[in-house]
């Protein structure tokens, strides 16, 4: 589960951000997640173009939420709450 250990994720993300090799690995991992989500949606009968859009947007929402979460050193929102809030912001914008 992505959110199983938020403390570990909070420690890992700045290290990844500071290390080009780890950034590349992270991009590869996100591309794999994107492809898996795209395939899962298409397997459920979602149109290919819509599945691709949903997968791209989902990863973008996750990245923006994670950045907001890392920037919040007050211990406010948890990461899943920020993913929901970021998704709601995107819906309001579009």
* DSSP state string for the chain: -TTTTHHHHHHHHHHHHT-HHHHHHHHHHHHHHHHHHHHHHHHTT--HHHHHHHHHHHHHHHHHHHHHHHH-TT--S-HHHHHHHHHHHHHHH-
> 74-93: per-residue pLDDT in tens?
556 788 889 999 999 999 99
> 12-60: per-residue pLDDT in tens?
888 988 999 999 999 999 999 999 999 999 999 999 999 999 999 999 9
First to last CA, the chain: 29
Predicted pLDDT at 88: 96
Predicted pLDDT at 40: 98
Give CA–CA dist 94/89, Å, rounded. 9
Give CA–CA dist 87/91, Å, rounded. 6
Does residue 1 carry a pLDDT above 50? no
């Amino acid at each position: 589960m992505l959110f199983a250990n938020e403390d570990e994720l909070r420690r890992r993300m700045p290290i990844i951000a500071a290390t080009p090799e780890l950034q590349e690995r992270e991009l590869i991992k996100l591309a794999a997640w994107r492809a898996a989500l795209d395939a899962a949606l298409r397997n459920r009968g979602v149109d290919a173009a819509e599945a691709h859009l949903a997968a791209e947007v989902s990863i973008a929402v996750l990245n923006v939420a994670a950045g907001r979460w890392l920037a919040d050193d007050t211990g406010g929102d948890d990461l899943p709450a920020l993913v929901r809030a970021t998704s709601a912001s995107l819906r309001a914008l579009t």
